Structure 1
Amino acid sequence: MGEMIGILLITHGSFGESLIQNVCHVLNKRPPLIAQLGVAAQDDPLDILPLARLLLKEVDCGDGVLVMTDVFGATPGNLALKLLEPGHVEGVAGLSLPMLLRALTYREKRMETMLQKAISGAHDGVLKLPPLA
């Protein structure tokens, strides 16, 4: 396998697993080097940090990891912040299906490109539906 940035989703509950299932449906296969960690309300971030670090290692083949979380400032987002290593492990909040699909499309590019495309994918995925003709 050539250059590929890993993806770790850290979300509330089963949101990350649902996103991965939807991605598998859209792409007709499970993408490699993707993992998710669902955080429950009663979870202590310090207790699950070792598991987050383990999952991070599993999806890192040397090209870095993009950690994606749902809500900035919430427990999953705070956990994601503890994993960041500028240039190698980057993070983004506001996780959505359009964002994840865009990130997957650009994961063989440089981290900076993948980050920009993931964020623009989220922005472009928010629009008012046009009326039917």
Structure 2
Amino acid sequence: MIGILLITHGTLGESLIQCACHVVNRRPARLAQLGVAAQDDPHELLQEAQRLLTVVDDGHGVLVLTDIFGATPSNIAMKLLQPGKVEGVAGVNVPMLLRVLTYREKHDIDTVVHKAITGGCDGVLHIKGSI
């Protein structure tokens, strides 16, 4: 199973996990989050992120999901990347997380990265109401 580590601003990661728990009616295994606050030391956060990688990795790799590319959470995530073992995707949202949770048990990490991106994009829609 591909492990999932969310690295996000504040409590966004835990909120996304809680949304996913609501949908799947349980807390998924091998899923962790690291929240980044303005006063946090990025070096200390990197050490914690490295520890969390070991918690969620069962040997099949880890997908790190982060919110905004170029911000502190994604900069920490970039330092964790190891092609084919630890991959990263920015722009995390609920549809992306749900897609990853759906596909991570029976697919390799490259497929799960692709599903994360398509799930995140496909979940963004213009809602048109009727009068």
Band the TM-score falls in, shorter-chain normalisation: over 0.9
- Counterpart of 2:101 in structure 1 is 104
SS in 2 for 1:86: coil
Does 1:61 pair with 2:58? yes
Task: Give the partner amino acid of 1:129.
Answer: I
SS in 2 for 1:67: strand
Query: Which consecutive segments of 4 or more residues in structure 1 shift more than 4 A?
Result: none
Structure 1 residue 31 displacement after superposition: 0.4
Does 1:7 pair with 2:4? yes
Structure 1 residue 115 displacement after superposition: 0.5
Task: Give the partner amino acid of 1:110.
Answer: D
Cα distance between partner residues in 2 of 1:38 and 1:79 = 11
Cα distance between partner residues in 1 of 2:125 and 2:116 = 16
- Counterpart of 1:18 in structure 2 is 15
Gaps of at least 5 residues in structure 2 are none
SS in 2 for 1:92: strand
The alignment of Structure 1 onto Structure 2 pairs a total of residues equal to: 130
Task: Give the partner amino acid of 1:47.
Answer: E
- Counterpart of 1:42 in structure 2 is 39
Cα distance between partner residues in 2 of 1:132 and 1:35 = 40
Gaps of at least 5 residues in structure 1 are none
SS in 2 for 1:29: coil
Percent of aligned pairs sharing the same letter: 64
- Counterpart of 2:68 in structure 1 is 71
